Structure 1
Amino acid sequence: MCSEHPAFSAPITPSAHDALWQWAQQAYGLSGGWQTLWLRGCPLGRINPQWAERIAKDWHGSASASSDGLFLEADSWLALGDGLQHMASEWKRLGLLHGWRDERFDVCGEDGQVLFALERAAFRPFGLMSHAVHLNGLACIDGQWRFWIGRRSPHKAVDPDKLDNLVGGGISSGEAVEAAILRESEEEAGLSPQQLAGMRPSNRIHSLRPVARGLHNEILHIFDVVLAPDVRPENLDGEVAGFECLTPPQLVEAMLGGQMMADAQLVTLDAFRRYGLLAPQHPLTRYLADISRPAAV
């Protein structure tokens, strides 16, 4: 028999804590020769030496480099955005930039104001901060609280066949967070607003990790929802192969086996922290708290 609200009897094992903390240390954070990318005087990106050299070579406007990083200038934010978009298009034409989606994300200043929009595939080379939504879906199945987990399509360009959260996706230019989570929930899991009536924003975490195309620098807006036992997620957009409803021990086994995509694992561990499945004083728990930001309401 499940409690009224999701609850779990005990934390995961000490050895699982240690192994997952080791994974987080290896997967996240920065080390080595990363430089700050300054756009019109604002420190908005982080770039590795290879992309720094390419950007300095291909930028058509004013550029300068110092020990503080690489500085790009333009007459306006619109002009700067157009220049970056043009440069990224040239990289795509030359085969230097892969994963082009014809979808733009917003680039925001430190105060959250939108400065310009840019092709999402270009965010990683420039190390610019993007935003995404993730949904933890919980349900009481066979008397146990479980997590609904998606399995990515084998045809996905990134992390095919890997386990994912119930819902996850980027926030497009001009799109509100709430609109993005509702859109992704319908497309990826076939969930209606009525089925998501109890959904709530639970946290935001900063995901920062080197990837093949540069730097993944993203704020993950995390939502939780308890689904009725008779609700079965069903993918509509072809991006998810299917869904499984897993207990925490099953999820831990999948994580330790490398079966889950990185940010989905981070989001799941954040839920573990909030639901008492992680020991409060363990370094993994403290790390997850450190990268947390207050959830938008």
Structure 2
Amino acid sequence: MTAGELRHLSFLDLVKLCGNYRLASITSTARPVPFRATPDGPPVGLLLPSVLEALAAHNTLRRDGSQLEYWIMRDDSFVSFAPELSTPAARTRAMQETTIWWRDTGRFESIISPRLWRGEWYAVYVDPFGPLSVDGGDPTQEADDGENPNYAFSMERSACALFGVVTYGVHMTVYEKDDDGTVRIWVPRRSATKQTWPGTLDNSIAGGIPARSSPRWSLAKESMEEGSIPEALVDKYAIAVGAISYFFQTKDKALQPEVEFVYDMCVPKVEGLRLSPGDTEVETFKLMPLEEVIEHMHAGEFKPNCALVLIDFLIRNGYLTPDNEPHYLDIITRMHDRFSYEHW
């Protein structure tokens, strides 16, 4: 798109920017290979040819060292962990060793270089729409595997897109509403030094859900770290209002299906709440009238998935309706994607 076109993105354009991958439209020759946690289990991710080659190279490395090969590769049928890696902790350690080797040897440099490496664990689930694990603990330790049978393993956050696994986050809109209906939203600008999407506008509070953590715990953590919001205010005013999901393919062609748990937090002025950066991930916050927020959305200034959360806010609060938006149904259905999971 040209700079002029970016200033006039429709709401549907914004949705398509984020949900830009459709598995059903991919030809058989370019179709990714299913990735399983166990040879006889369901798919938990999708692997592109470049990742298959890198997994084969890691198998060769271990085989040359007379060690167990971590990866079972069934031609174009599927890839899985070796059956000897029978626990979540064992699979986690194998995944960590493999991806660290890629990082340190410069493989996938635009995705998991030392600069882009996050040092954060994300959980992967047997059923991506099933229960999340919330028992806490170190994902690499057998004693902390927990009792959730849906938990398969954990892995480095930045490497998730290489394996096409579903990741999870929390996004919250913090706003004020006057008696006359005027809405103002707290909008942060991401740090210019942030690893991903530097300098773009963001949701009031947003972040990934670490392995072994609940959405609500993650929300409280991010609220303090990013916006200096006390946990007591989060407990008092933050409301879970739903979730959005989308299948994003990065500029490097990596596959990133994501689920975001969505929260609203309308805070009365009497609380005197003013959001301010609590860490280095956010440069500034601005309390912005809703009309101005929408202008920045149409200009393409928001991180793509953050624009989706704001579109969801507009729909739920009656600002975006089937009477004023011709693509209303297309927008709503695209924002609740199941990633063609039944075809994985």
TM score, norm. by length of structure 2: 0.74
RMSD of the alignment, in Å?
2.4
SS of 2:262's equivalent in the other structure is: strand
State the identity as a percent.
Answer: 22
**Which residue is 1:38 aligned to?**
36
- The Cα shift of 1:258 comes to 1.7
SS of 1:80's equivalent in the other structure is: helix
SS of 2:318's equivalent in the other structure is: coil
> Residues 135 and 70 (structure 1 numbering): CA distance in 2 closer, same or farther, change over 3 Å?
same
- The Cα shift of 1:200 comes to 0.7
Q: Indicate the larger mover: 204-213 or 260-269.
A: 204-213
SS of 1:278's equivalent in the other structure is: coil
Separation (CA, whole Å) in 1 of partners of 2:320 and 2:9: 11
Within-5 A mapping of 1:97-108: 97-98=112-113, 99-108=116-125
Q: Does 1:160 align with 2:198?
A: yes
- Identify which of 240, 243, 246 aligns with 1:207: 246
Separation (CA, whole Å) in 2 of partners of 1:62 and 1:142: 60
Aligned residues: 278
Q: Does 1:224 align with 2:264?
A: yes
**Which residue is 2:276 aligned to?**
234
> Residues 195 and 223 (structure 1 numbering): CA distance in 2 closer, same or farther, change over 3 Å?
same
**Which residue is 2:152 aligned to?**
115
Within-5 A mapping of 1:107-146: 107-110=124-127, 111-112=130-131, 113-140=150-177, 144-146=182-184
Is residue 29–residue 209 contact of structure 1 (8 Å, CA) maintained in 2? yes
- The Cα shift of 1:53 comes to 2.6
Q: Indicate the larger mover: 59-68 or 247-256.
A: 59-68
**Which residue is 1:3 aligned to?**
none
Is residue 121–residue 211 contact of structure 2 (8 Å, CA) maintained in 1? yes
Q: Indicate the larger mover: 45-54 or 150-159.
A: 45-54
**Which residue is 1:81 aligned to?**
92
Is residue 189–residue 284 contact of structure 2 (8 Å, CA) maintained in 1? yes
- The Cα shift of 1:226 comes to 0.4
- The Cα shift of 1:290 comes to 5.4
Describe the superposition over 1:163-221 as per-residue Cα deviations: whole angstroms up to 9, x where unpaired. Answer: 00000011111112111100100111111133231211011111310014512222101
Separation (CA, whole Å) in 1 of partners of 2:188 and 2:158: 23
Within-5 A mapping of 1:250-269: 250-269=292-311
Q: Which runs of 5+ in 2 are unaligned?
A: 1-6, 60-68, 132-149, 338-344
> Residues 26 and 223 (structure 1 numbering): CA distance in 2 closer, same or farther, change over 3 Å?
closer
Is residue 37–residue 44 contact of structure 2 (8 Å, CA) maintained in 1? yes
SS of 1:164's equivalent in the other structure is: coil
Describe the superposition over 1:22-71 as per-residue Cα deviations: whole angstroms up to 9, x where unpaired. Answer: 23224314244341222313211122232233223324334223444434
Is residue 280–residue 286 contact of structure 1 (8 Å, CA) maintained in 2? no
SS of 2:44's equivalent in the other structure is: strand
**Which residue is 1:52 aligned to?**
52
Q: Does 1:21 align with 2:12?
A: yes
- The Cα shift of 1:19 comes to 1.8
Higher strand share: 1
- The Cα shift of 1:103 comes to 1.4
Separation (CA, whole Å) in 1 of partners of 2:294 and 2:335: 21
SS of 1:238's equivalent in the other structure is: coil
Within-5 A mapping of 1:278-293: 278-280=320-322, 282-289=326-333, 291-292=335-336
Q: Which amino acid in the other structure matches residue 102 of structure 1?
A: G
Separation (CA, whole Å) in 2 of partners of 1:62 and 1:220: 30
Q: Which amino acid in the other structure matches residue 188 of structure 1?
A: E
**Which residue is 2:135 aligned to?**
none
Separation (CA, whole Å) in 1 of partners of 2:71 and 2:220: 41
- The Cα shift of 1:20 comes to 2.0
Separation (CA, whole Å) in 2 of partners of 1:65 and 1:248: 52
Higher helix share: 2
SS of 2:184's equivalent in the other structure is: strand
- The Cα shift of 1:132 comes to 0.7
Describe the superposition over 1:124-154 as per-residue Cα deviations: whole angstroms up to 9, x where unpaired. Answer: 1111112111111111369521221111111
